[in-house]
Amino acid sequence: MRIGIIGGGAAGLATAWLLERDHEVTLFERDDRFGGHAHTVDIEVDGQRIPVDAGFQFFAPSAAYATFNRLLDALQVCRESYPATLTVAGSDGTGPTAMPPFRGVRPVRSSLRPEAIGRLLRFRSFLAGIPAFLAEHDTTVTIAEYIERKRLPRSFVDGFLLPLLLAFWCVDLADFRRFSAYNALYYLGANLPRGLRPPVQSQIPGGLRVYVEALIASFERATLHSGSPVESVTREGDGTLGIEAGGVRHPFDHLVFACSARQAHALLAHLPEVAELTQQLARFDYFTTTIAIHGDRRLMPRDEAAWSVVNIRADAAHSSLSIWDPARGLPVFKSWVTYDDVLPEPLYATATYEHGLIDTAYFDAQRRLRPLQGRHGISLAGLYTADADSHESAILSAVAVAERLAPDSLRLARLRG
């Protein structure tokens, strides 16, 4: 078949990689680069070139990222492991609670306050219940309902737990309260700490760009177009689907929409035969976040001994992350600055991304889309179509498309393990 893929992020690239040996595949990406949220930028600090992952960053050598790790193995992409320490502090960087409260054998003295130790113990108890909840895969419970059921002290919830959970999304608190608890707790449940040791995360030396470039270099037959936004999609009299891109019409037997639900809806809303599908696509909400790569210590805990890989600064309304790489030993930070009035200085780069608002309607729409996949020559790929909001889901969405269109693919068999 002639298959057109709209979107060159992880889902689109993985779909093309899985299908290209069985079909004639053409991929269209509107940006000048491929990778989507797998986005590595280069900055220069003191004459040193440093690659920083501005978008997607965290994954682990665990079952939660099994398919993605199999893809990296197939591409022979090396990974390194590191301890993912975490610190929660006030918006001014004071009152840090470091987890664990040690860095090597050295204690983080500012996190050995009785209040901080009490929070750590209560948080560990909260974490213990997450795996069983995730195993139920109940996506109808909101995070507000889940926390309320735990009957935790209000001071702990408002002063520590909610700011910690909220920081990973950087949305308004009212929006976060209606997030599905399954998704809001997914990262914590997939990467639980052991004892006093922090959870282990993985990174690719040189950044996620290395993985994207390795994936592109492995293509054998597919045609990839960057800087080529799709302007329209039409249904021809013979049943084929036409893509208009750059003033040129391209005919296809099947289309894979590996873009956001919002973009897919805009391109498909005029086709009456897919009305049921576009009705569900319209239910996905989105929000934008702004990321700054910078060297401003003011966005970190005041006590440098409490600095972690993941640092949370919180006030009564919002929480934001600042990511730091201790192995570099440099004051280079990646911070969510969506709600900041003033950008940090020195500022090396900024990036803005669109994220799904993962409420209970998100998962209901996801479920209702599954039986519609492949009908009328149209498939959907993207993390919003497959489980929680993670890079693993993006790859799983590509696997689901390949299971329908190229079930005997050797590459598919490899990703399925």
Residue 407 lies in a domain: yes
Cβ atoms 108, 307 nearer than 8 A: no
389, with CB counted inside 10 A (0-12, 13-18, 19+), is buried
Q: Residue 166: pLDDT band by 50, 70, 90 thresholds?
A: very high
Residues 219 and 329 in one domain: no
Residue that terminates a domain, selected from 356, 386, 401: 356
Does 58 map to a domain? no
Which of 226, 141, 230, 222 shows the shortest CA–CA distance to 186?
A: 141
Q: How many domains does the chain have?
A: 2
Evaluate whether residue 55 is within a structural domain: no
One domain, residues 24 and 155? no
pLDDT at 313: 95
CATH of the domain at 370: 3.50.50.60
pLDDT in tens, 193-204: 776 689 999 999
Mean pLDDT of 168-189: 94
- Residues 165, 81 share a domain: yes
pLDDT(167) > 80: yes
Report if residue 111 sits inside a domain: yes
Q: What is the pLDDT of residue 148?
A: 97
Rounded to whole angstroms, the Cα distance separating 380 from 402 reads 11
Within a domain: 49: no
Q: Please compute the mean of the pLDDT values over residues 125-135 and round it to a whole number.
A: 94
- Residues 222-280 have pLDDT tens digits of 999 999 999 999 999 899 999 999 899 999 999 999 999 999 999 999 999 999 999 99
User: What is the pLDDT, as a whole number, of residue 195?
Assistant: 66
Does a structural domain hold residue 44? no
Question: Average pLDDT, stretch 322-343?
Answer: 95
Ranking 85-89, 101-105, 225-229, 247-251 by mean pLDDT, the lowest is 101-105
Mean pLDDT of the residues in the chain: 95
334 φ, ψ (degrees, to nearest 5): -120, 115
* Span 366-416, pLDDT tens digits: 999 999 999 999 999 999 999 999 999 999 999 999 999 999 999 999 999
In a domain, 53, yes or no: no
Domain span holding position 335: 63-69+75-205+286-356
Residue 365: band (very low, low, confident or very high) from pLDDT cuts 50, 70, 90: very high
| Residues 199 and 102 occupy one common structural domain | yes
- Both 374 and 314 in one domain: the answer is no
Is the predicted pLDDT of residue 317 greater than 90, yes or no? no
Asked if pLDDT for residue 181 goes beyond 90, the answer is yes
97 pLDDT above the threshold of 70: yes
- From the CA atom positions of the chain, what is the Rg in Å? 22
In sequence order, what DSSP letters do the residues of 164-214 get, joined into one string? HHHHTT---HHHHHTBBHHHHTHHHHHT--BTTBPPEEEE-TT-THHHHHH
Q: Identify whether residues 351 and 298 lie together within a single domain.
A: yes
Number of CB atoms found within 10 A of residue 272's CB: 8
Look at residue 191 in the predicted model and tell me its pLDDT: 81
Which helix H or strand E contains 349, and what residues bound it? strand 347-356
Higher-scoring residue by pLDDT: 30, 417: 30
Tell me the backbone φ, ψ of residue 90, rounded to 5 degrees: -70, 170
198 and 300 fall within a common domain: yes
pLDDT tens digits along 29-79: 999 999 999 999 999 998 899 999 999 999 999 999 999 999 999 999 999
User: Are 371 and 323 contained in the same domain?
Assistant: no
End of a domain among 333, 356, 379? 356
Of 392, 388, 385, 391, nearest to 139 (Cα)?
388
Same structural domain, 349 and 256: no
Q: Kindly state whether residue 42 falls inside one of the protein's structural domains.
A: no
Q: Are residues 178 and 270 in the same domain?
A: no
Helix (H) or strand (E) holding 256: strand 254-257
Residues 156 and 79 in one domain: yes
Residues 346 and 218 placed together within one structural domain of the fold: no
Both tokens of 120, joined, read 């750590």
